[in-house]
Amino acid sequence: MADVWLAALITATPQEGFELALTLSRRGVRYTQPDTDTLKRLRAEYAESAEGLTAASQVVAINFQTVAAANNYWRA
């Protein structure tokens, strides 16, 4: 198992929550494809792909939805 880097999904603000969602998304890619050279090579392909960018945005949105739910949607 990798080092522990995620202590909680709780954040102080929605902005911090979105940044956490981005981190979760990026980490997910790194866990899925740990080879840095392959990641760099593939990035050029999906960076020019509307479908690839849409899929990446969907992953971020799903992660943000998860963080928002964990934070009770930042409602007091």
Q: Is residue 5 part of a domain?
A: no
Q: Is residue 3 part of a domain?
A: no
Task: Summarize pLDDT for 17-37 with one digit per residue, the tens.
Answer: 999 999 999 999 999 999 999
Cα–Cα nearest to 26, from 54, 51, 1, 63: 63
Domain that includes residue 35, residue range: 14-74
Q: What is the pTM of this model?
A: 0.88
Task: Summarize pLDDT for 45-76 with one digit per residue, the tens.
Answer: 888 999 999 999 999 999 999 999 999 998 86
Q: Is residue 1 part of a domain?
A: no
The number of folded domains in the chain is 1
**Rounded CA separation 52/60 (Å):** 13
